[in-house]
Structure 1
Amino acid sequence: MEIIIAASPKAIASIVADAIEDLLTEHAGTVLGLATGSSPLSVYQELIRRHRDNGLSFAKSRAFLLDEYLGLPRAHPQSYHSVIRSEFVDHIDIDPTHVYSPDGEAADPVVEGQRYDAAIAAAGGIELQLLGIGTDGHIGFNEPTSSLRSRTRVKTLTEQTRSDNARFFDHVDQVPRHVMTQGLGTISEARHLVLVATGEAKAEAVAAMVEGPVAAICPGSVLQLHQHATVLVDEDAASRLKLADYYRHVYANKPRWQGI
């Protein structure tokens, strides 16, 4: 696992955008894994800028979302199907029909989870998966005690997660209690995991993920088992890391041609 402590969300966005641009340059048909929420927003804004100003093209790429609220219509403004389009997809040249998400209205959620995993596999797998982390350590919507080998399935949100997401709704009571999410096993099949976390509110979760034990109580800790995982944090999110100085030293002395 590589830990990069950057000065700001803008600096993090530039590093991640470089990695995505390199992938698209090497293979225009790259399959990306997209996350919603506040953490990846600066990355999307930087990619949109590069598309607009520098001609970075996503036209031949495809993308899969991490999760979706169960029972929320796709047309709802807070469905992740809608959110990823308003925040990213509508501003670049990717074919929106090539941006896939779990069907939160599926008649049989079990079958839908299996279908979604099969669709990712049929696409050749995800090359780079963007991730955020919740204050309780969840990635995707894999709440604490999720199996480290879990597949795409229905999960019940904790009240903390519903409270954290209430800012996107008029009231916490409008936040769905259930979601469909890629499992930790599904996420771990991506060839590169790139997790972004900013702000002091994420510091405890980041420390548990990076320096704590690999345990279901902190789902993000599954990144410790991955062959290519990069965690990018700002100073506030890094504030509880015991080995922060070492991570800075490693990154400062890393050959730049390696990227992330």
Structure 2
Amino acid sequence: MKIVIVENYEEMSKRAAVIFASQIVLKPDSVLGLATGSTTIGMYKELINIYGRDALDFSKVSTFNLDEYYKLDEDNEQSYNYFMNENFFNHVNIKRDNINMPNGKSEDTVRDCARYDKKIVDLGGIDLQVLGIGANGHIGFNEPNTNFEAETRLVELEKQTIKANSRFFNSIGEVPTKAVSMGIKTIMQSKKIILLASGIEKADAIEKAVNGKITPELPASILNLHKDVIIIVDRDAASLLNK
């Protein structure tokens, strides 16, 4: 595990974008695992800027997103499908057929989640997976005490996660209580992982993920067992690492 501490959110976003861009340059048909949320917006903006300078080609790239809210319409402004289109997909030359999102509207989540994981395997696995981290240490929507052997599946969201995400909705009552998420096993099968964290509210989770024991109570701690992980954090998120 490599820890990269940068000054601020902007530098974190640029560092992450350079890693992603390099992956695509080295392997134009890369399979990329993508995340949503405010942490990743800056990275996507940087990638769009690089693309705008004719320095990056997404035409052969395939993508798989970490998660999607359960039973939220794709055109809902809070769906992750909508987020990805608005913040990334609509601004680069990725082919729509190469975009893969968990099916939050599925009537048979077990079947569709199995198909999702199978498609990842069929394409050779995820070359580079980006992750954020929740204040409770979740990655994707793998909440504390998750099964490390879990693959993509329907999950229940913790009250802390629902409260944290309520800032994007009109009220906490509108926040979905379930989501379809890649499991820890699916994430850990990625060839390379970068985890991004910004802000003082992520400091405790980062410190425990890096220095604490590997435990399902802190899902991100499992990343210590992956052979190629880069954690990029700003000064605030890294503030407890050396204490």
TM-score greater than 0.5 by the shorter chain:
yes
Q: Equivalent residue for 1:27?
A: 27
SS state of the match for residue 40, structure 1? helix
Deviates more, 1:72-81 or 1:154-163: 72-81
One-letter code aligned to 1:60 = K
State the distance in 2 between where 1:80 and 1:98 align. Answer: 16
Residue 129 of structure 1 deviates from its aligned partner by 0.3
State the distance in 2 between where 1:123 and 1:193 align. Answer: 17
State the distance in 2 between where 1:149 and 1:6 align. Answer: 33
Q: Equivalent residue for 1:249?
A: none
> Superposition RMSD on alpha carbons, in Å?
1.0
Residue 78 of structure 1 deviates from its aligned partner by 1.3
SS state of the match for residue 196, structure 1? strand
Q: Equivalent residue for 2:86?
A: 86
Equivalent pairs: percent with the same residue? 37
Residue 2 of structure 1 deviates from its aligned partner by 0.4
Q: Equivalent residue for 1:208?
A: 208
SS state of the match for residue 43, structure 1? helix
Residue 96 of structure 1 deviates from its aligned partner by 2.4
Q: Equivalent residue for 1:166?
A: 166
One-letter code aligned to 2:75 = A
State the distance in 2 between where 1:235 and 1:81 align. Answer: 31
One-letter code aligned to 1:6 = V
Aligned length: 243
Residue 97 of structure 1 deviates from its aligned partner by 2.6
State the distance in 2 between where 1:3 and 1:54 align. Answer: 31
Q: Equivalent residue for 1:122?
A: 122
State the distance in 1 between where 2:101 and 2:54 align. Answer: 28
One-letter code aligned to 2:60 = K
Correspondence 1:111 to 2:111: yes
In structure 2, stretches of 5+ residues that fail to align are none
One-letter code aligned to 1:146 = T
- The runs of 4+ residues in structure 1 deviating greater than 3 Å are none
One-letter code aligned to 1:141 = F
Q: Equivalent residue for 1:142?
A: 142
Residue 182 of structure 1 deviates from its aligned partner by 0.2
SS state of the match for residue 19, structure 2? helix
In structure 1, stretches of 5+ residues that fail to align are 244-260
State the distance in 2 between where 1:58 and 1:67 align. Answer: 21
Residue 122 of structure 1 deviates from its aligned partner by 1.0
Q: Equivalent residue for 1:48?
A: 48
Correspondence 1:185 to 2:215: no
Q: List per-residue Cα deviations over 1:56-87 (Å, max 9, x = no partner).
A: 11111010000011111212221111111111
Q: Equivalent residue for 2:15?
A: 15
Residue 236 of structure 1 deviates from its aligned partner by 0.2
Q: List per-residue Cα deviations over 1:12-63 (Å, max 9, x = no partner).
A: 2222222112111111111111000011111111001111124311111010
State the distance in 1 between where 2:160 and 2:11 align. Answer: 29
One-letter code aligned to 2:177 = R
Give the TM-score normalised by structure 2: 0.97
Q: Equivalent residue for 1:197?
A: 197
State the distance in 2 between where 1:93 and 1:15 align. Answer: 22
SS state of the match for residue 14, structure 1? helix
Q: Equivalent residue for 2:2?
A: 2
Q: Equivalent residue for 1:235?
A: 235
One-letter code aligned to 1:232 = I
Q: List per-residue Cα deviations over 1:138-164 (Å, max 9, x = no partner).
A: 000000000112111111001110111
